[in-house]
Structure 1
Amino acid sequence: MSSISDPARTEPGAPVTAPPVPGGRDVRWLALAVLAISQLMIVLDATIVNVALTDIRDAGLGFTEASLQWVVNGYTLAFGGFLLLGGRLADRFGRRRLFMAGAVLFAVASLVGGLAQSEAMLIAARAAQGLGGAVMAPAALSLLTVVFQEGRDRDRALGLWAAISAGGAAVGLILGGVLTANFSWRWVLLVNVPIALVAVLGARAFVPESRDESAGRFDVAGAVTVTGGLVALVYGLVRGAELGWARTETYLAFAVAVVLLGSFAVIQARREHSLLPTRLLRNRSVLGADIASLTIGAAMFAIFFFLAIYMGGILGYGPIRTGLAFLPMTLLIGVGAAISSTLIGRVGPRPLLMGGTAVAAAGLALLTRIAPDSTYAGTLLPALSLVALGMGLAFVALTSAAVAGVPDEDSGIASAMLNAGQQVGGALGLAVLTAVSTARTNSMTPTVAPQDPAFLQQVNEALTSGWALGFAVATAIMLLATVITGLMVRVSKEDAADAARGGVHVG
């Protein structure tokens, strides 16, 4: 049994509603604001440092080109590796409590990173940020699904949540560009400190506590194996893309991941109180949403990575202009999410998932046309607009399908599964697409000497040809998400409405 309580008034087991403030005012939307701003902070921090990497490299901390990527990867590794553990800890020990603890850790890590005086100090701070995010993210989404029980209000709340989740990466590039150009790279980290503190204070004032009161013994063996397995998997993907796949270190990381994740599967099948309840995996719609999250993450992460390099290196954009180039994408994600949250109660998640991923695939297909002489208005803007609109449509439905029919006591781990799918998919997709694009680029060796005026043109053509092939593979991956959601997600509009009110099991 899962219970929810006002920190000051409501006893465990009370109805699942947000606490009123004096005067009887409904503060659910204030609770949503707290949870949403925390999600924005978590998502944008995956990309906010990207446009500051050159400044970080030149800051005298000891970074090389090879080690610089760990400013990004340290966050991804910790976030992706600890998500499932963070979700189950939130279910067991209190979602608001874990949310606040994660926010405090995020604030401290951001402060340390912003004041870092060495390479090791900054990378460690980024990893600690990722750990804080892994605790906060599943707790925040599960709290949202507990606070909002009414169908229409929950749809609206999930719409905002999905827009932030899908658009936060673009916001990170914009904010990172502005802060780096006008202040210092350190502010891309320090800006998190006041946001995280607001999240802590807001959660204490407006967000009710919620936990699984019926939890048995904590699954220590499951926690150790899945966390170690996910960390090894993400590490292998990151190092494989960096060093090459035919390396002993890469093979060893994948071997450890297979052993630990295989052990986790055996443990979960035998434990009564398992970290990942098998009943969630038997829910076809939840499983389909999680697999779709993995494939969407694999297709989407490459957009920001490839296009940020393309805009800066080929088109000559500065940090602010690069960030602002993604602004229409952020706005259209919000438009798509608003449309989806309005329609989901009428048509159910599956049509929106299939339609949204198909529209996004069309946008990715347009990006296969990029060339050294492409223009923003002629190529990038139409493509990014389609991708953004499609993702806005899909993410609301994806989030709804991932939590539909999930008991309150499992909401944290269900939220973590959705986030983990996206993070692992993003790492996998970026590794694969980078390898594909690099292979294409390396195959197009310039035919003239470096001092020849045509040399730079041939290099740029090789680079854009590689990225175009990467976008072609991303298009295929996004279409795979369309097929998966069509075959596996079976939440009808009636079931979605009932699930939004808190009680239907589907799949």
Structure 2
Amino acid sequence: MERKWWTLLTVSVATFMLLLDITVVNVALPSIRKDLDASFTDLQWVIDAYALTLAALVLAAGSLADRLGRRRTFAAGLAIFSVASLLCALAPNPTFLNLARAVQGVGGAVMFAVSLALIAQEFLAGRERGMAMGVYGATIGVAVAIGPLVGGALTDSLGWESIFYLNVPIGAGAIVLTYLKLRESRDPNATRVDWPGVATFSAALFLLVLALVRGNTEGWGSALIVSLFAGAVVLLAAFLVIERRVAEPMLPLGLFRRHAFTGVQLAAFAVSSSLFALFLYLTLYLQNYLGLTPFQTGVRYLPITLLSFFVAPVAGVLLSRVHARFMLAVGLAAIGVGLLLMGGIKATDEWTTLLGGFLVAGAGVGLINPVIADVAVSVVPKEISGMAAGINDTFRQVGIAVGIAVWGAIFVARGTSRIGELTAEVPGLTGDLRRELAEAASSGNLPQVLAAIPPQSRQLVSDAARAGFLTGFNTVLFLGALANFIGAALALWLVREREIERQRPEPAAS
């Protein structure tokens, strides 16, 4: 088999492992909460700890790969991810788990940064690369499709720890293939890593997400939250100044003068901050509100995941025939419509209320994933494809991290407000207790919190907490849809076919 096919296979296996882990973790979150006695904030950090380190380091990882060698860097990322997965499985408490998830994000950053560049270096731009990106997109679809089922089955039968043990043998096999079958490549002009940029960007992102996660608890006008937001703004400004002045920035701001480059990053951010971030809250609804098991939840996700799987290869074929901006706009709009169809849930509704939205959103995801992957590395010179892939994955992971934090803040605030409206006559129900009820209704520990409520008011408060959950849930679904519609408009406006490399001359015969 030719080297390019081995490269595509290895990258697809590694990507499969990464995305399988993400989808599996979403389904296992309620079980993790129960076994480790985790809070709603802990559940947010299980996802955000991973997404934050991945987003903060993926740009540096792309630069390192261009400098040190993409194959070597890719193998190192696989090793870090596999070891961190083992630590996640052995976690005795939420703090240990979240720290291990942060280390997982380091390995994921390296793998994400290099995966698209490895494919781009082996497949010629145009129809051939479009086909490869279609396979890559199909891999994403398969991982998303079977992830909830695998995660649900493993969690129900062997416990949530098994979802992390699964990564160890997959990672080991991928490392072997990397060293045996992949070609080493690097950017001959890359000389150094922009560590000041890495430090300021990482710190700014961490402070921003921490402020969003803690805002409801501490108070949005409190000195702590205001200081965190101010610190994030100052560090982000410092990052932009550094990127303008250093000789080799990790985020070359000049790339954003290319409208297509900017448009594809915004498209990636839109889908990640909406649908992918909202998977956390969809899972909490299915398991903690409707009472489904992890495996039953995985089965319910099949409509959205299977459509994504079947549409992705078709999108790869269409890449060479249909303008990318139309595919991005249609795909994002479909995801927005899907989220609208999921919303408006009432207390008496069953999971089938989500079905129409799952189908439409699944088709949209399948349509845009290969397009984003292809355009991200086709609007820049191939020598900096590692950096371009890193920038794209940064926007994806920043979208997930910020999306989870923003939706969580809105979710709890709207839920708390609704609980306050419905329990205004209940004595002793303070604002802090109402917020605690809103978080408990989502994280699955409502019975424990209700134990502190007088028996005569317990049923009223329980109903109010569940009503608060639905209010917050419907709100974030609507806002997620709005984010996709904005992303669709921006993609249609910014992405231009003339800026995308679609064909490359064949090498001259010797």
TM bin (shorter chain) = 0.7 to 0.9
- 1:5-30 superposed Cα distances (whole Å, 9 cap, x missing partner): xxxxxxxxxxxxxxxxxxxx324223
Alignment correspondent of 2:491: 485
Q: Secondary structure at the match of 2:185?
A: strand
Deviations 1:313-341 (A, max 9, x none): 23221111011211221110022212211
1:137 matched to which residue of 2?
A: 112
Paired residue for 2:332, among 354, 357, 364? Answer: 357
| Equivalent position of 1:49 in the other structure | 25
**1:34 aligned partner, one-letter code:** T
1:475 aligns with 2:466: no
- Give the counterpart of 1:391 among 365, 369, 386: 365
> 1:64, CA displacement in angstroms?
5.3
1:407 aligns with 2:381: yes
Decide which of 411, 428, 437 is 1:437's aligned counterpart: 411
Q: Distance in 1 between matches of 2:204 and 2:482?
A: 28
In the TM superposition, residue 186 of structure 1 has moved relative to its aligned partner by 1.3
CA distance in 1, matches of 2:273, 2:153: 27
Instruction: Name the SS of the counterpart of 1:497 in structure 2.
Output: coil
Cα separation, 1, equivalents of 2:163 and 2:80: 17
* Equivalent of 1:223 in 198, 213, 227: 198
Deviations 1:322-381 (A, max 9, x none): 11211221110022212211212111211101111111111111112222222333x211
By how many angstroms is 1:430 displaced? 2.3
- Give, in whole Å, the separation in 2 of the partners of 1:317 and 1:93: 48
2:253 counterpart letter in structure 1: T
- 1:461 matches 2:467: yes
Call closer, same or farther: CA 1:462–1:71 in 2, change over 3 Å.
closer
RMSD: 2.7
Number of equivalent positions? 475
Aligned residue for 2:186, secondary structure, equals: strand
Please tell me whether residue 31 in structure 1 is matched to residue 7 in structure 2.
Answer: yes
Q: Distance in 2 between matches of 1:313 and 1:387?
A: 23
Q: Which stretch of structure 1 is more off in the superposition, 230-239 or 271-280?
A: 230-239
Which amino acid letter does the alignment assign opposite residue 288 of structure 1? G
| Alpha-carbon distance in structure 2 between the residues aligned to 1:300 and 1:243 | 27
Partners of 2:116 and 2:373 within 8 A in 1 = no
Contact 2:51 2:400 in 1 (8 A): no
| Distance of 2:95 and 2:295 partners within structure 1 | 28
1:110 aligned partner: 85
Within 5 Å, give how 1:10-159 maps onto structure 2: 25-59=1-35, 63=38, 66-159=41-134
Counterpart residue number, 2:447: none
In the alignment, is residue 331 of structure 1 matched against residue 306 of structure 2? yes
Residues in 1 aligned to 2:465 and 2:121: alpha-carbon distance in whole angstroms:
53
Give the percent of matched residue pairs that are identical in Structure 1 and Structure 2. 35
CA distance in 1: counterparts of 2:276 and 2:294, whole angstroms = 19
Q: 1:274 Cα shift?
A: 2.3
CA apart distance, 1:479: 0.1
Q: Is the 8 A contact 2:251 2:391 kept in 1?
A: no
Q: State the shift of 1:148 in Å.
A: 1.4
2:179 aligned partner, one-letter code: R
For residues 248 and 499 of structure 1, the distance between their equivalents in structure 2, rounded to whole angstroms, comes to 56
- Classify 1:405/1:226 alpha carbon distance in 2 versus 1 (closer, same or farther; 3 Å): same
Shift of 1:124: 2.3
Which residue is 1:301 aligned to?
Answer: 276
Per-residue CA shift, 1:289-330, capped at 9, x if unaligned?
112211221111343122111111232211110112112211
Whole-angstrom CA distance in 1 between matches of 2:282 and 2:347? 12
Query: Contact (CA 8 Å) 2:140, 2:309: kept in 1 or not?
Result: no
Give the equivalent residue in structure 2 for 1:258.
233
Please, what TM-score do these two structures have when normalized by structure 2?
Answer: 0.85
Relative to structure 1, the CA distance from residue 363 to residue 181 in structure 2 (aligned partners, 3 Å threshold; closer, same or farther) is same
Q: Secondary structure at the match of 1:437?
A: helix
Whether the 8 Å contact between 2:203 and 2:232 is mirrored in structure 1 is yes
Residue segments in structure 1 that go unaligned for 5+ positions in a row: 1-24, 503-507
Contact kept, 8 Å, 2:204 with 2:236, in 1: the verdict is yes
Return the alpha-carbon distance in structure 1 between the equivalents of residues 44 and 160 of structure 2.
Answer: 15
Please give the alpha-carbon distance, in whole angstroms, between the structure 1 residues aligned to 2:288 and 2:38.
Answer: 21
Inter-partner Cα distance in structure 2 for 1:135 and 1:490: 29
Distance 1:454 1:160, change over 3 A: farther
- Structure (1/2) with the larger helix percentage: 2
Counterpart of 1:437 in structure 2: which amino acid?
Answer: F
Matches of 1:47 and 1:186 in 2, distance apart? 14
Give SS of 1:347's match: coil
The verdict on how the C-alpha distance between 1:242 and 1:183 changes in structure 2, with shifts beyond 3 A counting, is farther
Cα gap change, 1:400 to 1:432, in 2 (>3 Å): same
Aligned positions of 1:271-290 closer than 5 A: 271-290=246-265
- The amino acid that maps onto 1:71 is V
TM-superposition CA deviations, 1:154-188 (whole Å, max 9, x none): 11221232344467456443322211111022111
The answer to which of 433-442 and 395-404 deviates more is 433-442
Aligned CA distance change for structure 1 residues 65 and 273 (closer, same or farther; 3 Å)? closer
5+ residue gaps, structure 2: 427-455
Query: With CA pairs under 8 Å and 6+ residues apart, which has the higher RCO, 1 or 2?
Result: 2
Mean alpha-carbon deviation: is it higher for 144-153 or for 350-359?
144-153
Inter-partner Cα distance in structure 1 for 2:369 and 2:41: 34
Cα gap change, 1:121 to 1:313, in 2 (>3 Å): closer
Equivalent AA in structure 2 for residue 336 of structure 1: V
Instruction: Give the alignment of 1:158-197 within 5 angstroms.
Output: 158-165=133-140, 168=143, 171-197=146-172
Deviation at 1:72, TM superposition (A): 2.9
Q: Does 1:497 align with 2:502?
A: yes
- Check whether the contact 1:80–1:424 (CA below 8 A) recurs between aligned residues: yes
Change (3 A) 1:391 1:66: closer
Change (3 A) 1:410 1:242: farther
Distance verdict in 2 for CA 1:39–1:234, change over 3 Å:
farther
Letter in 2 for 1:322: T
Contact 1:151–1:500 (CA under 8 A) maintained in structure 2: no
Instruction: Provide TM-score, normalisation by structure 1.
Output: 0.86
Match in the other structure for 1:19:
none
